[in-house]
Amino acid sequence: MKNTPTVLKFFSRLTAVLFASAICCAPFVGRAAEVTITILHTTDLHGNILPTTDYQGNPDRGGIARLATKIADIRRENPNTLLVDAGDTIQGTTVSFNTEGRLIVKLFNHLKYDAWTLGNHEFDWGLKKIAQCVTDAEVPVLGANIKLPTERDGEPFPPEVAAFKKVKPYVIKEVQGVKVGIIGLTTPGIPNWSRPRLIEPLEFIESVRALRRIVPEVQRQGAQILVLVTHQGYKRSPDDHANQIHSIAANYPELDIIIGGHSHQEWSEFLIRPSNILYTQANYWGTYLGRVDIKFDTDKKKIVEKKARTILMDNSVPQDPAVLDLSKEPLAAAEKELKTVIGTAEGDFITRGEPKRETHIHNLICDAIDAALQKNNTRADVIIHGVLNNKGILKKGDVTVSDVWTVVPYENTIGVFEVSPDTLKELIEENASHFERGSFRGYWGVRVTYQMTDDRARPLRIVSIADRDGKPFPPDAKIKVAANSFDLSSGGTRFPKLREIADRPESKLVEYNFQTRQAVADFIKERKTVAPRIVGWWNFLRGNTPVPQEKDDAPAPDSGAVPRETFPARTSPNWRDALCRVRFANAVTTERDPPTRSASSF
Ligand SMILES: [Zn+2]
Q: How many residues does the chain have?
A: 602
- Per-residue pLDDT tens over the stretch 332-385: 999 999 999 999 999 999 998 899 999 999 999 999 999 999 999 999 999 999
- Of 25-29, 209-213, 412-416, 458-462, the range with the lowest mean pLDDT is 25-29
Q: Which residues pair with 40 in a beta bridge?
A: 83, 291
Instruction: State residue 438's pLDDT score.
Output: 85
Closest CA to 590 of 42, 48, 57: 57
CATH fold of the domain at 340-571: 5'-nucleotidase;  domain 2 (3.90.780)
Which distant-in-sequence residues (6+ apart) come within 8 Å of 22 by Cβ?
none
| pLDDT, tens digit (0-9, with 9 covering 90-100), for 324-341 | 999 999 999 999 999 999
| pLDDT at position 549 | 64
Burial class (CB in 10 A: 0-12, 13-18, 19+), 74: middle
Residue 9 has pLDDT above 50, yes or no: no
Contact 397, 559 (CB under 8 A): no
- At residue 550, the pLDDT reads 53
> How remote is the CA of residue 399 from the centroid of ligand 1, in Å?
29
* pLDDT of the residue at 458: 86
With residue 400 as reference, give the H or E element that holds it: strand 397-400
What confidence tens digit (pLDDT) does each residue in 223-240 have? 999 999 999 999 988 999
Average pLDDT over residues 13-32: 44
Which among 514, 481, 513, 517 has a CA at the least distance from the CA of 497?
Answer: 481
CA–centroid distance, 259 to ligand 1, in Å, is 14
Residue 68: C-alpha distances to residues 49, 217, 288, 455 (Å): 10, 33, 12, 52
Q: Which residues sit opposite 155 in a β-bridge?
A: 152
State residue 32's pLDDT score. Answer: 63
H/E/C letters for each residue in 21-74? HHHHHHHHHCCCCEEEEEEEEECCCCCCCCCECCCCCCCCECCHHHHHHHHHHH
pLDDT of 565 > 50? The answer is no
Count other C-beta atoms under 10 Å from residue 520's C-beta.
27
| pLDDT score, position 425 | 98
- Non-local (6+) Cβ contacts of 234 within 8 A are 243, 245, 258, 260, 263, 265, 267, 272, 279, 281, 593
Q: Is the pLDDT score of 551 beyond 60?
A: no
Compute, in angstroms, the gap from residue 298 CA to the centroid of ligand 1.
37
Cβ neighbours for 145, distance < 8 A, ≥ 6 positions apart: 185, 186, 188, 204, 205, 206, 207, 209, 210
DSSP string, 276-345: TEEEEEE-STTSEEEEEEEEEETTTTEEEEEEEEEEE-STTSPPPHHHHHHHHHHHHHHHHHHH-EEEEE
Cα 266 to middle of ligand 1, angstroms = 14
Q: How far is the CA of 402 from the centre of ligand 1 (A)?
A: 23
- Greater confidence (85 vs 582) lies with 85
For residue 428, the CA-to-ligand 1 centroid distance in Å is 28
Which tens digit of pLDDT belongs to each residue from 573-591?
A: 333 333 333 333 322 222 2
- Alpha carbon of 263 to ligand 1 centroid (Å): 7
- Whole-number Å distance, alpha carbon 503 to ligand 1 midpoint, is 25
Residue 257 has pLDDT above 80, yes or no: yes
Give the range among 186-200, 382-396, 516-530 with minimum mean pLDDT. Answer: 382-396
Within 8 A by CB and 6+ apart from 208, the residues are 244, 247, 248, 251, 252
Ligand 1 center to residue 119 CA distance, Å?
5
Mean pLDDT of 198-214: 97
For ligand 1, the distance from its centroid to the CA atom of residue 368, given in whole angstroms, is 27
Query: Is the predicted pLDDT of residue 593 greater than 60, yes or no?
Result: no
Is the per-residue pLDDT at 96 higher than 50? yes
> What is the pLDDT confidence band of residue 1, given thresholds at 50, 70 and 90?
very low
Q: Please list the residues that pair with 229 across neighbouring strands.
A: 184, 259
Instruction: Tell me, in angstroms, the distance from the centre of ligand 1 to residue 122's CA.
Output: 9
Q: How much distance in Å is there from the Cα of 29 to the middle of ligand 1?
A: 48
Q: Which of 344, 348, 390 is nearest to 555 (CA)?
A: 348
What's the whole-number average pLDDT of the chain?
A: 88
Query: 496: closest CA among 285, 244, 241?
Result: 241
| 146-186 confidence digits (pLDDT tens) | 999 998 888 899 999 999 999 999 999 999 999 999 999 99
pLDDT average, residue stretch 97-121: 98
| For range 6-11, the mean pLDDT | 45
* pTM: predicted TM-score of the whole model, two decimal places: 0.85
What per-residue confidence (pLDDT) applies to 153? Answer: 80
Cα of 44 to ligand 1 centre, how many Å? 7
Peptide bond before residue 274 is cis, with ω within 30 degrees of 0 = yes
List strands edge to edge, sheet with 460-467.
460-467, 446-452, 538-542, 545-547
| DSSP, residue by residue, 438-461 | T-PPEEESEEEEEEE-S-TTS-EE
Q: What is the whole-number distance in angstroms between the Cα of residue 284 and the centre of ligand 1?
A: 10
pLDDT of residue 11: 46
Which residues have C-beta within 8 Å of that of residue 353, sequence separation ≥ 6? 359, 550, 567
Q: Name the burial class of residue 282, with classes exposed (0-12), middle (13-18) and buried (19+) by CB atoms within 10 angstroms of its CB.
A: buried
Q: What are phi and psi of 236, to 5 degrees?
A: -65, -40
Calpha distance 419→481 (Å, rounded): 7
CATH match for 34-332 among 3.10.110.10, 3.30.365.10, 3.40.640.10, 3.60.21.10: 3.60.21.10
Instruction: State the distance from the centre of ligand 1 to the C-alpha of 288, rounded, in angstroms.
Output: 17
Compute, in angstroms, the gap from residue 204 CA to the centroid of ligand 1.
14
For the chain, state the CA radius of gyration. 28
How many angstroms separate the CA atoms of 364 and 350, rounded? 10
Domain ranges of the chain: 34-332, 340-571
Q: How far is the CA of 91 from the centre of ligand 1 (A)?
A: 10
* CA 459 vs CA 127, 326, 453, 498: distances in Å: 40, 53, 5, 19
